[in-house]
A = this chain, B = another copy of it.
């Protein structure tokens, strides 16, 4: 017999839930960061550059979960805003070296608490132990 094709509840599918939860979080994050603040992806890139001082473009993409094509767009916009700087790698001429500008560094420092607030707000419906459990479970399916 065919695997019960009557009981496909979209609302109970992990993909749908991930999509909706992510949508909600992005909305919260954008609201928290305010007018012309960085998007979640842009902020992730800024944070990773802040941790490493200097990264190649593709390496930055790998650290933040962006493919090279996406990374290109995100980096271009951050450069346009003067938050990061690019330079040729003198050793490996294929590479583009990226680093935070002074302005970018200051921005990350200034926004880190707002990013945390976005996390808090997203998880607000759950108790602290449930929050830890959710983060742990999600960490295992990525």
Contacts and interface: CB of A to CB of B under 8 A. Distances in A.
A17 interface: yes
A135 B16 contact: no
A102 B130 CA distance: 44
Main secondary structure of the interface of A (DSSP, over half): helix
Nearest to A123: B14
Interface residues of A, number: 51
Interface in A8-23: 8, 10-23
Interface of A: 2-3, 5, 8, 10-26, 29, 40-41, 44, 47-48, 64-65, 109, 112-113, 115-116, 118-119, 122-123, 125-126, 130-131, 133-135, 137-142
